[in-house]
Amino acid sequence: MNKLILYFLITSLIPIASKAQFETFKDSVVQLYGVVMTADSLLGIPAVSVVVKGQNRGTITNNQGVFSIVVLKGDLIEFSSVGYKPKLITVPKDIEGNQYSVLQLMVNDTVYLAATIIKSRPSREQFERDFVNTVVPDDKLEIARKNNDESKRRLLMATLPADGREAAGRYLTQQAAKSYYNGQAPPMNIFNPFAWNEFIKSWKRGDYKKK
């Protein structure tokens, strides 16, 4: 009888506790919205990151600097954008209702670079010498041309591991060969003239030379 009463009390209190917990969580959810503007000219700043501090979620402002995001009461909100000093605000815990608006002003972040002094060459002869000896880095077309060189491609094939598609293809080929000769001894390639032909070609190319 006591167990029956205890079971009845537990089954009655669990829905009440769950409902109270849900109501508490529902009351802590806030729709945070507002505008991010420059402090000096009051212009909307686009593409400002609005991130909940310590969590991997956030949003960005639109072209007029307007944003909207769901947060919890007490969350820290960080505003950051290139060229402006980051700002950090706290969503108040004593908000009445589930909406909170802000007008966030951001100040320009000025960066001072070291002074650069431009000097001319002492003589025309020195300029010509430096110009001729200057090493110009390869552009993307030249890099692609070098990567397509036969020796470079052979070296890459010998050193780079197989990708997923190549590995899957090799595995399926091996499984197909095993299934083809299932129940019998597979033939030996030592008597295969095509295998000898490929071996001789590889030997002439130098595939078996030590790198």
Please identify, among 74, 106, 138, the residue that sits at the C-terminal boundary of a domain: 106
Q: SS3 sequence, the chain?
A: CHHHHHHHHHHHHHHHHHHHHHHHHHHHEEEEEEEEEECCCCCECCCCEEEECCCCCEEECCCCCEEEEEEECCCEEEEECCCECCEEEECCCCCCCCEEEEEEEECECCCCCCCCCCCCCCCHHHHHHHHHHCCCCCCHHHHHHHHCCHHHHHHHHHHCCCCHHHHHHHHHHHHHHHHHCCCCCCCCHHHCHHHHHHHHHHHHHCCCCCC
The pLDDT score that the predictor gives to residue 174 is 80
| Domains: count for the chain | 2
The pLDDT score that the predictor gives to residue 163 is 72
Q: Is residue 114 part of a domain?
A: no
Domain range for residue 62?
2-106
Q: Is residue 112 part of a domain?
A: no
Rounded average pLDDT per 10-residue block, the chain, 211 residues? 51 49 63 93 93 90 94 93 93 88 92 81 80 84 83 78 76 80 70 72 70 51
The pLDDT score that the predictor gives to residue 15 is 52
The pLDDT score that the predictor gives to residue 103 is 94
The pLDDT score that the predictor gives to residue 123 is 81
Q: Is residue 117 part of a domain?
A: no
The pLDDT score that the predictor gives to residue 113 is 81
Q: Is residue 211 part of a domain?
A: no
The pLDDT score that the predictor gives to residue 31 is 92
This prediction's pTM: 0.46
Q: Is residue 210 part of a domain?
A: no
Do 26 and 94 share a structural domain? Answer: yes
The pLDDT score that the predictor gives to residue 25 is 47
Please identify, among 106, 141, 163, the residue that sits at the C-terminal boundary of a domain: 106
Q: Is residue 116 part of a domain?
A: no
Do 200 and 158 share a structural domain? Answer: yes
What's the CATH number where 30 sits?
2.60.40.1120
Q: Is residue 134 part of a domain?
A: yes
Please identify, among 76, 106, 136, the residue that sits at the C-terminal boundary of a domain: 106
Do 155 and 64 share a structural domain? Answer: no
Do 145 and 75 share a structural domain? Answer: no
